[in-house]
Each structure stands twice: as structure tokens, then as C-alpha cells.
Amino acid sequence: MAPDAPGGHAVPAPLTPPLVELRPLVSADAATIASWSLDPRFVAGADWTPDLSLEVHVAFQLRIVTDPPADLIRLGAVHEGELVGYVDLHGHEPRRRELGYVIGDSHRWGRGYGGAAARAGLAYGFGVLGLTEIWAEALTGNTASVRILQGLGMTEIDHGAPGPYRRFTISVGS
């Protein structure tokens, strides 16, 4: 609650999503990202390979940070100076890429970081990269990610198509 309003009544504090800023990842981030693999709920929700050692995850994440594939832009999602996730813009088409986002570990879920990171990813894709279309997938059972994508104004495509993923798209000016 915010300080009392005139008359002695408490005024609810405004509900605002957390600010997430995007920044390039640095080598030290690999250990942080890899540590999320120790959270079984995160591993399942993020569709990461279970039962890999922390060392394997660190090595993989370090490779992604220091020598990413040519078709991947991965940016750290930071809240109040702390890495809370990352955003991917993936693809080789000059005006179209896939948006991905991960918030780790699972104790951060449900706090607005996913929506803030995805929104920042769209802004980066359209504003910085000059994309005209961004698409995304969410596991059918990941209702939180589906809600985030819908909340961003993305349109579901292939609705009802068989498979584990639901696909969404948004174009510049949508």
C-alpha cells in the first residue's frame, strides 16, 4: 500500500510489470544460466534436456555466449542489475525471426519477467533489427507462455494443428 491519502485511507500501490532491460551476454553469465538446470521445474518448463551435469550446461552456455551460431542473437534480460533470463531472436531471414525467451529459475515465474522480456525482445527485433515479422512457439501445456504471446498482440497460426507447440506471429504495425 502507498502512503495514506487524504482522509486516512490507504491507497493501493500501482501494479506495474518489472522493468527488464536487454544487454549482450558476457562469459560470466554462462554459469548463471547453467545454474537454472539445477531446478527440475525450470528444466521441464523450458524444455531443456534433463539429467545433464552442471558442467555440461556451463560448457554449452559458454559456447553460445562466446561463439553463437550466425543465425542467433541472444541477449540477457536484466532486472535491477540481475540476470533473470534471456531473449533469443533466431533465424536467417533478413526481415523475419523467431522470438524465444527464458526466465530462470522457476522461483521468478509469475512475476511479470517473461512478459517484460518478450516485450523487450519484440522492441529490439522491430526497432533495432528492422524486422517486419516475428514469430514464436509455446509448448501447448505452457499456458503462461501462451498468455504472454497473446498479451503481446501475437496472432495464433496453425491453431489446433497437431504437435506439442502452438505458433504465433506478429508483424510490424500490428
Q: What is the pTM of this model?
A: 0.86
68-117 pLDDT tens trace: 999 999 999 999 999 999 999 999 999 999 999 999 999 999 999 999 99
Read off the pLDDT of each residue in 120-126 and give the average, rounded to a whole number. Answer: 97
Instruction: Kindly state whether residue 7 falls inside one of the protein's structural domains.
Output: no
Give the Å distances, CA to CA, from 14 to 1, 22, 152: 9, 24, 21
Task: Give the C-alpha separation, 79 to 123, whole Å.
Answer: 17
DSSP label of 27: T
Which pLDDT score, from 0 to 100, does residue 140 have? 85
Give the contacts of 77 (CB within 8 A, at least 6 positions apart).
20, 21, 22, 83, 84, 85, 86, 87, 101, 103, 113, 116, 117, 120
Domain that holds residue 30: 20-171
What is the percentage of the chain residues whose pLDDT exceeds 70? 88
> What CATH number corresponds to the domain at position 65?
3.40.630.30
Band (4; pLDDT cuts 50, 70, 90) = very low
